Every structure is written in structure tokens, then in C-alpha cells.
């Protein structure tokens, strides 16, 4: 484990373990790279990402907290909360011989207390790097009254071709379509497939989802081949303490509209996000903690 400057001079925790490698920016405690030893990177980063203190990175695993998307009551509040915009402290890093475990900490500060969510809290984010990547976000309520928050491990994953990608594990789950239409909508019977901009919050989804790259589409195996090493892979995302799952691909127009996202990059990424949002938002009594965990791994 080594801490050094990354893009834009921002401090990064570089992990080169026996079983996997990773990079985590202190800015947002943002994982920007993870690969099991001997495998191609699993996490997607945009080549157009900015690396500046006052903007989030594009790609990787933004930590969305304590709200998801636009803030309900405050249009000026930053999208997806303040956690991905602040510098987290590296509290601990241990190499246990197999995995490397790094823990990051964020507490309330004048910046958070003057925000749309003015509560006292402590967040600890434990990243375990190995053949699997385990992301565990623990939030403790230090306020004298109950607090509520939303949270997301907004994981961007590499795929060889979004048109041949499927997401399984969400069959039958109702979803909120962030692009419009009735809420909630009945989930599909089969896997989620992509034929246009997709931005959905699947509710009540407590079990694993799997991203299947190069899945059979229209009866044929599609040969992607755009991203070396990603072709034909399955990435399984197990989770605990999470009730919602967001699936996102911006497709053509939204990609073109985002300054920090390459116009053609949408073909090689998909977000499958481990979350607690909307009706799955977390309520904590004073002194209580809650942990949301995602475990990513390549699977056969």
C-alpha cells in the first residue's frame, strides 16, 4: 500500500496486493481501479474524468451520501450528496497476506453541517482488495434525534459492448424509471437488456445481481471485443444491508451532454449500484449504525 499523487495531483491509495490491485482517491474515497490478480480491470473509468477538488470523478465507485440524485428540498445542493466531493481520511491500511484492507473516514464538518443535511455523523468506508472487492459503508448517527439518509455505491463496470450485456438478478422487481412514466413499474420477467438510455431504481432488491458481458442477444452470441479482457465475463455483485439497485447507462444524448464523459464511452460501461434510496432510505436512531456492503467478483 502506497499513498502518492494521482491525476491532478490528488492523493491516491495504491494497492498492489497478492490477489488484486486497486486505486482509491481520498477525494470521495473513490475507488477508480480494481482488478483481481491476472485479470483485466473490472471497474470502468472515463478518460474524460476531471480530477479536481470541487468536482466528482467520473467512473469508478462514487460514494453517494447522504442523498441520491438531486436533493429533494434544495436545488442548489450537489447531486448525489457531499460525500463524493470531500476528502476522506485514510484511517487504516493492512495487508493480511491475501487481501489488503483500507479504511477511510469522514465525519461531519462545517462543510457538511452547513449543507442540506446538517447532521452529526461518522462514516467509515472499508475497502477490501483481493480476488474480490468488498466495499462496506458504515454510517453512525451522532445526532440527538433520528436521521434519515440515502446512499449508493455507484459502481461503474467495464463491458465489451453494452448492446450485448445483460443484468440478471433483478427479475420481477418493481422499478422507478428516472426517465419518466408511472411509478413504480412492473419489473421485467427476464434479464435487463439495453437498447437506449436506461436509468432505473429497482426497489426491494436485496440479493445479488450479475452483469453478463457478451450475453446471448436475439439468439446469437454477440462478439463484443471492444474492451480487452472484458469479453464474455460475468461480474457478480453480492450485497448486504441494501434494499435498492440502480441500473444506469446514459446512451448517446446524455453522454454528449456530460462534459466529463466521452461521447462514445457509453458503449463500454454499465452502472449497477448497491443502494438504499427512496422507500429504502435508512433511518437511524441516536447512536445507531448501519452498514451497506457490496462484494464484487468475477464468476463463471
Q: Which listed residue (33, 124, 132, 154) binds ligand BG6 by CB under 6 A?
A: 154
Instruction: Report whether the peptide linkage leading into residue 66 is cis, meaning its omega lies within 30 degrees of zero.
Output: yes
Find how far residue 168's CA is from the centre of its chain: 17
The conformation of residue 195, written as its DSSP 8-state character, comes to S
Nearest distance in Å: CB 80, ligand BG6 = 5
256 binds ligand BG6 (CB under 6 A): no
Q: Which of residues 180-199 bind ligand BG6 (CB under 6 A)?
A: 199
DSSP-derived secondary structure for 14-46: EEE-SSEEEEEETBTTEEEEEEETTS---B-B-
Which residue number, 63 or 271, has a Cβ lying nearer to ligand BG6?
271
The 66-105 site mask, x for binding ligand BG6 (CB under 6 A), equals: ---x---------xx-------------------------
Q: Which of residues 18-57 bind ligand BG6 (CB under 6 A)?
A: 56
Nearest distance in Å: CB 260, ligand BG6 = 8
246 binds ligand BG6 (CB under 6 A): yes
Which residue number, 255 or 293, has a Cβ lying nearer to ligand BG6?
255
Active site residues: 154, 273
* Exposed e or buried b per residue across 27-42, where buried means at least 16 C-beta atoms within 10 angstroms of its C-beta: bbbbbbbbbbeeeebb
Q: Which residue has the cell 463524493?
A: 84
DSSP-derived secondary structure for 136-166: EEEEEE-SSS-EEE-EEE--EEE-S-GGG-E
Tell me which residue has its CB nearest to ligand BG6: 79
Count of CB atoms situated within 10 Å of the CB of 76: 7
- 210: nearest Cα among 267, 171, 173: 171
Which residue number, 119 or 200, has a Cβ lying nearer to ligand BG6?
200
Site residues (vs ligand BG6, CB under 6 A): 56, 69, 79-80, 154, 178, 199, 246, 248, 271, 273
Amino acid at each position: 500500500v502506497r499513498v502518492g499523487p494521482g491525476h491532478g495531483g490528488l492523493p491516491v491509495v495504491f494497492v498492489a496486493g497478492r490477489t488484486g490491485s486497486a486505486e482509491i482517491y481520498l477525494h470521495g474515497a473513490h475507488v477508480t481501479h480494481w482488478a483481481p490478480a491476472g485479470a483485466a480491470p473490472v471497474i470502468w473509468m472515463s478518460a474524460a474524468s476531471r480530477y479536481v477538488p470541487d468536482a466528482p470523478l467520473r467512473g469508478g465507485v462514487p460514494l453517494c451520501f447522504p442523498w441520491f440524485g438531486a436533493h429533494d428540498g434544495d436545488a442548489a445542493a450537489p447531486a448525489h450528496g457531499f460525500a463524493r466531493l470531500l476528502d476522506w481520511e485514510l484511517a487504516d491500511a493492512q495487508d493480511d497476506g491475501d487481501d489488503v484492507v483500507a479504511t477511510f473516514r469522514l465525519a461531519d464538518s462545517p462543510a457538511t453541517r452547513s449543507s442540506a443535511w446538517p447532521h452529526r455523523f461518522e462514516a467509515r468506508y472499508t475497502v477490501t482488495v483481493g480476488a474480490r472487492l468488498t466495499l462496506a459503508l458504515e454510517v453512525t448517527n451522532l445526532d440527538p434525534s433520528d436521521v434519515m439518509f440515502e446512499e449508493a455505491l455507484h459502481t461503474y463496470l467495464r463491458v465489451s459492448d453494452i448492446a450485448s450485456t445483460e443484468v440478471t438478478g433483478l427479475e420481477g422487481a418493481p422499478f422507478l424509471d428516472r426517465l419518466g412514466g408511472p411509478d413504480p413499474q412492473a419489473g421485467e420477467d427476464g434479464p435487463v437488456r439495453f437498447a437506449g438510455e436506461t436509468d432505473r431504481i429497482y426497489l426491494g432488491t436485496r440479493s445479488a445481481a450479475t452483469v453478463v458481458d457478451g450475453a446471448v442477444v436475439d439468439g446469437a452470441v454477440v462478439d463484443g471485443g471492444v474492451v480487452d479482457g472484458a469479453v464474455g465475463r460475468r461480474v457478480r455483485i453480492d450485497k448486504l444491508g441494501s434494499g435498492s439497485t440502480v441500473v444506469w447507462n446514459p446512451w448517446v444524448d446524455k453522454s454528449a451532454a456530460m462534459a466529463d464523459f466521452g461521447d462514445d464511452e457509453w458503449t463500454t460501461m454499465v452502472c449497477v449500484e448497491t443502494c438504499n434510496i427512496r422507500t429504502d432510505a435508512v433511518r437511524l436512531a441516536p447512536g445507531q449504525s448501519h452498514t451497506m456492503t457490496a462484494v464484487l467478483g468475477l464468476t463463471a
